[in-house]
Structure 1
Amino acid sequence: MPDIPKFSDLPLNKGDPRWSAWGLYGKDDQLGTLNRLTDDVVKAASSEIRTGTRISLNWPLDAQKDIPFFNRQAFHKNVFQKLPRIVNDDEWSFNTQSSSQWDGLRHFGYQKEEKFYNGVTLDDIHGENKTNVNGIGAWSEKGIVGRGVLLDFHGWREAKGLPYDAFESGSISLEQLKEVAKSQDVELRFGDILIIRSGYMVAYGKLPREEIKSLMAVQPHHFSGVEQSEKMLEWIWNNFSAVAGDQPSFECWPTQKNFALHEILLAGWGCPIGELFDLEALSEHCKKVNRYTFFVTSEVCNVPGGVASPPNILAIF
């Protein structure tokens, strides 16, 4: 077992929000569970590179066109010539969470306590004396680099003929994820980067525009994802440095409990949450070579005080 507190010992400090680990890496820490990606952990993960095959997990920035979920700004691109020369420049404008993304530590706080990771407040972010604290730019120095693990829930579910609706508030249980790992012969290592293929991208790709617009009109949106439970939290706490999936919310949405995983992962532990990762080419290759672990390199944008970032992520085999 790694040298971290037991899940049952959380929160670490009296009066802190439930299951929080504030202060574990110091009161001014902004890396959270990325501290688990030590040089030794990354060096060990490099053994996953055997063939040099590289696969992008980045959905196109304009993949949702002009109708992203959660009422987010669509991607806009302006390409212009710099007359009189034969030269082009371009300008992009987009919400950092309208396509593949890492949620940063400013994104989702404890709702009742109104606090972000390590006790950061809204006033720290928006107030008169605001700073860049918990900005996603803090992750850019070393990136999110380590051993990735794909749990192909969608492939496993299809093989078993189990029903699934990406646009209903269904939960992927811990027991199911453990069954997927067993079927893939995957053994977890502390510090792994967990990536779950739920099947959202497959379902989204089959929808006509009008049906997407109808789903967007339903408030709150409904998505299937990882279940909200103490045992799921304990499993994540004991194993991973970051978690990600192909769906818009990672977890079942809206939450089925009186808490959201986003609260605990982001605000409690400083654990990055990846969403809308394009896992189709990755899952095909994993199935082809019968290997579901790989080296991951992800470099977030160096934006001081940023909330989220495109992942700029590759899986390397």
Structure 2
Amino acid sequence: MTRWTQRPEGSNWGDFGPDDQLGRVNLLTQEQVLKGVREVREGKVFCLSLPLDLPGGMVLNPRRKPPRLAATERDGVPYMNFPMENLDAASIDVLSDDQVTLSLQYSTQWDALAHIGAQFDVDGSGTPRKVYYNGYQAGADIPDAPERHEGEGCCGHGGAAFGAKKLSIDNFAVKGMQGRGVMVDFVRHFGHGRTLIGYKELAAILESDGIEVEKGDMLVLRTGFAETVLEMAGKPDGDKLHESGAVLDGADTQLLNWITESGIAAICADNYAVEAYPARTEGAKKSLLPLHHHCLFKLGLPLAELWYLRDLAEWLHAHQRNRFLLTAPPLRLPGAVGSPVTPIATV
């Protein structure tokens, strides 16, 4: 079945094959991994994740709840400091076992390509349809959430399965998400205040800092936002966060064109949403998140949010470097449209 006969202007649908689900992640080739490995000179490792219970509360997104840890249970008995002699009188073991209820994009995360789609006329009929990267269809490939009725669990009526059949996050997990990261430090140039970053500002930093970005690199952007989140210690101030950190200008067509032409495989940022929201776009029909639209929907280029980058950025600056080995696989969770991640940088 042909999913589309016309693709969005500026997209790469079909360029990696008619059934591709990786998009620009295809550019994380074996050679790209080796480029990252060649940047390892000292064996020093940096964790690029916030604690996954941050930012705290629901200020950033009222749909996403903080993680809730609980003990696993058997017959109503929680297994935390559980004496195994209750099961076998000869046992000296004590068992603790837990579980978590977690919004997959609450904290440090990857967006899957099934995270953002658009209404687009894929067959030239004049009728837009809800579709995602490479023309995968809402409803068929990314099913609707089952209706919930009173007394039913999360799977809906009859326990119907939930989750994306195509473009889910486990595709990235299988790929590995490893390669060369390239740091761009907005904090060093603009501080921690709110700054709108378009192509002009980005290009100026690349030139002044001597940063070369090549095809297949993962672009890593330090805005300082996650550092402010960390300082708030789980009690985020929404007004202060709104004025904190640099954001990309998704309405800057020159910036979007650069993303296309650069050949980068991913954008990883330490802020929320990567881009300014809502964007400064106008018109009767528009994208509220034009950078998401361009990257996830058109290019199949994944976005990462709320990473923690200060320690790595400061070390790189002190050693006059901006490249490193980046390893950042998401959870191999079939059907998920996002995932927490614990990225690791090795220098």
TM-score over 0.5 (shorter chain): yes
Partner residue, 1:78: 70
Identity of paired residues, percent?
A: 28
Would you say the 8 A contact 1:110–1:263 is kept in 2? yes
Show the 5 A alignment for 1:104-119: 104-111=112-119, 113=128, 114-119=130-135
Where 1:81 maps in the other structure, the secondary structure is: coil
Task: Select the residue among 220, 241, 262 that pairs with 2:265.
Answer: 241
Size of the aligned set, in residue pairs, is: 294
Displacement of 1:223: 7.8
Would you say the 8 A contact 1:102–1:275 is kept in 2? yes
TM-score (norm 2): 0.78
Displacement of 1:135: 0.8
Where 1:106 maps in the other structure, the secondary structure is: coil
Distance (whole Å) between structure 2 residues aligned to residue 199 and residue 272 of structure 1: 21
Confirm whether residue 181 of structure 1 aligns to residue 189 of structure 2: no
Partner residue, 1:171: 196
Where 2:311 maps in the other structure, the secondary structure is: helix
Partner residue, 2:310: 280
Change (3 A) 1:55 1:222: closer
Confirm whether residue 252 of structure 1 aligns to residue 276 of structure 2: yes
Unaligned runs of 5+ in 1: 1-12
Partner residue, 2:75: none
Displacement of 1:21: 1.3
Unaligned runs of 5+ in 2: 72-78, 85-93, 121-127, 145-159
Change (3 A) 1:52 1:210: closer
The answer to which of 37-46 and 127-136 deviates more is: 127-136
The answer to which of 57-66 and 126-135 deviates more is: 126-135
Distance (whole Å) between structure 2 residues aligned to residue 73 and residue 100 of structure 1: 14
Task: Select the residue among 44, 57, 63 that pairs with 2:35.
Answer: 44
TM-score (norm 1): 0.84
Distance (whole Å) between structure 2 residues aligned to residue 153 and residue 300 of structure 1: 26
The answer to which of 120-129 and 87-96 deviates more is: 120-129
Show the 5 A alignment for 1:88-167: 88-111=96-119, 113=128, 114-124=130-140, 125-126=142-143, 132-158=165-191, 164-165=193-194
The answer to which of 202-211 and 257-266 deviates more is: 202-211
Partner residue, 2:254: 231
Q: Counterpart of 2:68 in structure 1: which amino acid?
A: H
Displacement of 1:122: 1.7
Q: Counterpart of 1:225 in structure 2: which amino acid?
A: V
Where 2:180 maps in the other structure, the secondary structure is: strand
Moved >6 Å (runs of 4+): 208-211
Displacement of 1:311: 2.3
Distance (whole Å) between structure 2 residues aligned to residue 150 and residue 223 of structure 1: 16
Distance (whole Å) between structure 2 residues aligned to residue 20 and residue 41 of structure 1: 23
Displacement of 1:214: 5.6
Change (3 A) 1:189 1:205: same
Partner residue, 1:307: 337
Displacement of 1:264: 1.5
